[in-house]
């Protein structure tokens, strides 16, 4: 069973729909016990990083920490990926899980002398796809995925794919059983479905 964490931060229905389409059994939950007993956990989310404070308030941060420590597969989507890092300048007082080092930061106002529009919305390509990535198995370099975000995660050792917009940022991150994607797999056509399928089949 895949526990899909509900912390009132959008795109939940579309993620559940995509997982169900792929044959996965899902349970939408705010219950730490359900998270602890699930075989896999998905944390979707769009919007403000501040919303992730609810995860701590409901005891879900600790439940996720315990689950991943015992090897449960975890996938964060969009804000869910950002939460895997130490935090975000969007809500400096709200701590992330801290599984990956670094802070998420807003796109710069300009890049290489030109104005940079924010949010970054639309299709963009995945570069430097890590060959050993379980999550991105079968995904081609320069495969296109759909983004909509104003804050981005830094490129780190565990980055599994990079996207460039105002400089490089982490499009996907993966270390052992903990994974995240900044793009929306449920809106990313065949590439996005492949990513979700890979996760479901782990």
The residues assigned a catalytic role are 78, 184, 186
Sign for the pseudo-dihedral over CA of 197, 14, 62, 32: negative
Distance CA 131, CA 119 (A): 29
Comparing CA positions, the residue from 120, 146, 153, 177 lying closest to residue 18 is 146
Distance CA 162, CA 153 (A): 10
């Amino acid at each position: 069973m895949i526990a899909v964490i509900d912390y009132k931060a959008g795109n939940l229905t579309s993620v559940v729909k995509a997982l169900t389409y792929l044959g996965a059994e899902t349970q939408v939950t705010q219950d730490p016990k359900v998270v602890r007993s699930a075989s896999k956990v998905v944390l979707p989310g769009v919007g403000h990083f501040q919303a992730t404070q609810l995860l701590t308030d409901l005891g879900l941060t600790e439940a996720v920490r315990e689950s991943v420590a015992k090897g449960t597969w975890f996938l964060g989507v969009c804000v869910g990926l950002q939460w895997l890092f130490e935090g975000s300048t969007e809500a400096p007082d709200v701590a992330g899980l801290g599984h990956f080092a670094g802070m998420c930061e807003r796109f710069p106002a300009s890049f290489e002398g030109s104005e940079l529009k924010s949010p970054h919305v639309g299709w963009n390509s995945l570069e430097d796809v890590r060959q050993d990535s379980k999550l991105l198995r079968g995904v081609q370099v320069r495969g296109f995925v759909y983004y909509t975000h104003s804050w981005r995660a830094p490129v780190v050792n565990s980055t599994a794919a990079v996207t460039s917009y105002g400089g490089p940022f982490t499009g996907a991150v993966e270390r052992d059983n903990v994974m995240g994607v900044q793009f929306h797999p449920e809106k990313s056509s065949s590439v996005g479905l492949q990513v979700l399928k890979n996760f479901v089949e782990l």
